[in-house]
Structure formats: C-alpha cells, structure tokens
Chains A and B, each alone.
Chain A
Amino acid sequence: TQLLEQSPQFLSIQEGENLTVYCNSSSVFSSLQWYRQEPGEGPVLLVTVVTGGEVKKLKRLTFQFGDARKDSSLHITAAQPGDTGLYLCAGAGSARQLTFGSGTQLTVLP
C-alpha cells in the first residue's frame, strides 16, 4: 500500500508570510497532484507534476516534484486570506487510482 504523509497538518500564518507544505512517501509515483478544498466543497485540482525535479508555478504558488518522484512540496509566497483552505497532495502509481495525503489545513489571517 502506498502512503503519502503531509506536513504540517495545520498551519496558521499572517497575511504576507511565506509557507511550504510537504508531501513525502517511500513509494515512487508516476505523477503527483495538488488540490485545494474549501469548506463544504469538493477538492479542486491545482497542478499535476509528472517529471522528477519538475517545478511548476501558478501565480504565487510553486510546486516541486522530487528528483526520485517520492516527494513534493508546495510553496506559497506572500500568502493571502484567499489562500485559506485544505491542501491535499495525491500520488498516482501504476493504476488509475490516486493515493491521497491527509491534508494540510492552512489559515491565513488578515
């Protein structure tokens, strides 16, 4: 069974601060995705990374896939209250299923 560990589980920061969320596994994934979920809604896909070492940027969000394709990070620059939400990483193995991390609940205070 593939497992994904996310850290930290909870993060509360002030508007304007930077933060990094980590997603780690002992398993190799063919791709890794990051989702954001707001209360009472389903997760929304932010990005997919497929190549080891790949870096993708989405405005103030930077996503990195580890060289060995076992880990990933999400870095947010100058966080804003609108970034508040549950961030989930999900890895794909050989099948079409995803393994989800337990999530990082981010709160950005104004």
Chain B
Amino acid sequence: DVKVTQSSRYLVKRTGEKVFLECVQDMDHENMFWYRQDPGLGLRLIYFSYDVKMKEKGDIPEGYSVSREKKERFSLILESASTNQTSMYLCASTLYHGGAYEQYFGPGTRLTVT
C-alpha cells in the first residue's frame, strides 16, 4: 500500500512565524503535491514537484515556498504565517496506474495561525 505521512496532524502557530510542513512518501513516486482545503473552496493546488530539486507553482503559491531535496520528501514552507493561512493542508503523491495518474493523500495537517 502507498503510504504518505505528514509531520503533524495539528499545528498552532503565531502570526509572523516561519512554519514547516513535511510530507514523506514511501513508494518512490516522482510527483508530489501540496494543497490547502477550505470549506466551500475545495482543494486548491499550492505547489507541485515532478522531480528532486524541481518545483512548479500551482494556483495559489503566494505566501508559500517548497523544498524537495530528496525524492521521498516534499516540504511546504510558510515564510511568515498569517491568519488567512489557517487551513487544512494536504500532501499527495501520484502513481501512474491503468492509464491515469492516481493521487494518494496524507492524513492532512490542520494549521491554525493566531
């Protein structure tokens, strides 16, 4: 089974703090993604990576950066946390199977910025 783990399930940070969210997958997947999920807005893509050292902006990259130094690990960084970044953050990696890229998600990190 594909396993995607995220470093924290719940996190509370103060405005202005630098926040690191880490994601690790154990299936040697090349593609990894970071989303945020907010009620009524669905999943919105923040950043993604198709390979080590490679990153691409998604739909809402402002206020975020990412790091992918190793294939299995994809980190999301909030440079200076703000209250509007309070959200559920989901990491995913993809497997190409049966003619499609299937995404496998971690359990999510519920981040609250106060």
Interface residues of A (CB under 8 A from B): 30-31, 33, 35, 40-45, 48, 50, 88, 90, 92, 96-98, 100-103
Contacts and interface: CB of A to CB of B under 8 A. Distances in A.
A105 to B, nearest CB: 10
Contacts, number: 60
Contacts of A98: 101, 103
Nearest to B90: A42
Interface in B95-114: 97-108, 110
B101 A96 contact: yes
B7 to A, nearest CB: 14
B31 interface: yes
17 contacts: A33-B102, A35-B105, A40-B9, A40-B107, A40-B110, A42-B107, A43-B103, A45-B102, A48-B102, A50-B99, A88-B42, A97-B33, A97-B48, A101-B42, A102-B40, A102-B41, A102-B42
A96 B43 CA distance: 16
Interface residues of B, number: 28
A19 B107 CA distance: 27
A96 B94 contact: yes
- Please classify the interface of chain B as helix (H, G, I), strand (E, B), loop, or mixed, using the class held by over half of its residues: strand
Contact of A96 (B31, B106, B108): B31
Interface of B: 4, 9, 31, 33, 40-43, 45, 48, 50, 58, 90, 92, 94, 97-108, 110
A50 B101 contact: no
A45 B100 contact: no
A90 B94 CA distance: 13
Contacts of B98: 48, 50
